[in-house]
Structure 1
């Protein structure tokens, strides 16, 4: 690169075929002018040459040569070594390998190295084409001499063009195609061969079929199944068809059957299991003479099939929720079974399957197929069954009570199903009509206190029973209500107490209705309230007994709907009091009392009670039961005087309490002023012996002082009472 530098770069070509040596001299001059020299010999070897050769194509299993002629002193290394005769020579032989159906492109690289160690590389692309696959020839391998028109063909041809060659005969037609016909010659051995090529020009291996030309034909043993099930079929058997030949079929052995033959094919329907022996006799009659052959025997094992006359055993219908149902196909021992329910597999144990208890209402198809120990499947058996619904929940219409007045009672199931039957059970009564139908008539004993039950169960036309439903029939022995007493509450004129009794009322469901109207009226009673039938009293808080006398009655509707009205009514006693003022002095007036007659019991009499200024009632008098008025003198008992009349009856039983009815309370007021007399005559003649002050007892805490005309006090006291401290009672005073 430069001759004046210390380290020049040397480039030296060598176009010869041998090493080239050149000597170089280096002269060095120091800054002081001193000079030194040195030499070096450089040998340049010739460059290596590598030649992989031109791109080529080769067929599978064919060979080509790669590379170029070897150079002296060179060594070679080829990669890859696949298919090469040697990978260390300059021109290896490549045997194509392609087991696919498409061309393969393979790159080969050669490394060439000279004796001096110089090396070079070159590569080449080789296309390895596939060959057509080897086919086979179909056609007779035993023919009669001079027979003509025998067909041969490629089995499952992959191409359309084939080259044929025939030994022992001539090709009559078809050369270049997948099928030919051959005219055979004299007796001897022959062969049929064929090859084909593909688009890449690669030729297949030759495939050959040997042929025996002889009057004793070697008829091919029939082909077909050798182990069959007797009930299946028909089964087809055949021997190769040969032009000009006829075939006769024969069946021997313990397995019998019927043959239907057409030329080289027969079909057999076996009637009995066992071992069958099938042979075919071939006959050919060309111009050269009659030829005949009998095939080897084909042994056929005919296995017994499952029975075709059994049926699936099990119920044709059953009720929903009646538990698992079992179905059985009674096949042979050792068999297996496949069951399906509406097309879905269902597990089985042997020939038995259980339909789950949860199977819904509907129609189902159960199928079963038996496969016996020999692997033979029987026919598909079908069993249709129906899961019937159970009757729905029932309702019983009919009386829930039996009463003293009840006759035969009717109980019915509404909206009953006409095709169903109904089973009734009556506890505590007797069914007199209708058992099995939706309506029955029942007779119950009256007066009994025990609850009864009526139960019914529906059974559908398919025998499915529904849930039993029952009703309780309660004995309602309530009798006519009795109104025993009507009495005004002593402390409240707005309240009337009724005493009542309903015998045997413990089970009656309805209350007693309390009815009222004005006493003496003929208008209808009006309801003023209700009370439990077991109650003994009722208080009418809507009354005004101080103004009106009332008549009461009772009514009760039993559980059977019977209306019972009290046989007797009861009235209240209306008391009226009228004050009659007196002129004064010894006459303070009087009170006139009148009252309405009590109705409800036989009145023995009336007691008249009086209360003075809220001091408590005291008996004034007792009057006869036919007395309805009374007058009593006002003797200054009080400013306010209240009266009450009590009607009473004679005791029904001596020593028992009789009934009493209080009237309302009637009150009057008196002025009862204090009045003085202006004279006394204390001479003990019983006339004016004492100083009497009218009504003084009504003025407690009083003080009295008496003076004479001269103003001198002659008498004084407190709480003057006309008796113990009256003036004049003490003569000394």
Structure 2
């Protein structure tokens, strides 16, 4: 027999290689261990492994195990070494209540959830073993401390600076804490330089989930050692694809511009630079009228549901350049001529004929294209005006030709003769008395 006794015991009898028993004088508790190994067993299926036994040692040094720093309303478990054949008598201070376990080595205690005046709380136990004639007692001091909470945004845009606050419960007093931000892989990406109750954190980290950890600078003053908040950092939306609308503008005219994007469920914030005067607008489409002094500039960003802002998309605009006027250099009296100028959105055009009696504008007079019916011969000027610009064209309106036909005064039936005009023309169309074309 090979006997082994833990260091808090002394063998006083037996325990030798030939002894199948051992007597031990135990010292300090709460327990001792006796181990036995045997050799030369007659059967190979027995005595193959050492065996040991734990021996409870009743001692005045036996200590209560359980939480000594608790919150209001906490429920905690308190225990002592489970001495066999021993009776246990538990008690708690006025602001605790034993829920279960009285008479055993382990109890469940509920601490009061309301106001508690300053004063130490405690858990006590006394135990006695009538067979051994010994026992003991212990008291554990318990502090009921306030909790603390952290408030602040749990969703942040990438690059956003957010402030967080700690407050005690009860009391609502600021709590100085040391702060840490951990990435999802556990790496620390930010720490506070000094304890503070209101840190400002710049969330310029890659998009993802982070843990914001607050630990009180005075740890024993609060019943919770740390507070962890899960923070989501969201990447901002991309810049808009384009600003739709006219590139060339006329001061004083009203124009519509639209932000183009493929991102759904976003809102838009515009900045309008009208000659250095800055105004803000909201909406996917805006209507703008610019003054006479540049610069003329539009800037827009899109904002997602979390308020994350995209980069700004900017577009510079220009005023309409000088007009050009296209049309014929010659026209015929009672004929119709077409004139056109540059087409710009939203502009009204004003046409004029000089002399006014030389012709009549057919149809709408405020369009970029007009038709004019001539009823006066001679030199004529056509002018168009729009957005403070003007252009004109000179042309000649010619009288209609009046051909005189030379022909015999009379002809015999079936007689053929030649007829001609007194003046030469560039082209001809001859008709009979019924209006039928006979030659051209």
TM-score (norm 2): 0.50
Structure with greater contact order relative to length (CA < 8 Å, sep ≥ 6): 2
TM-score (norm 1): 0.32
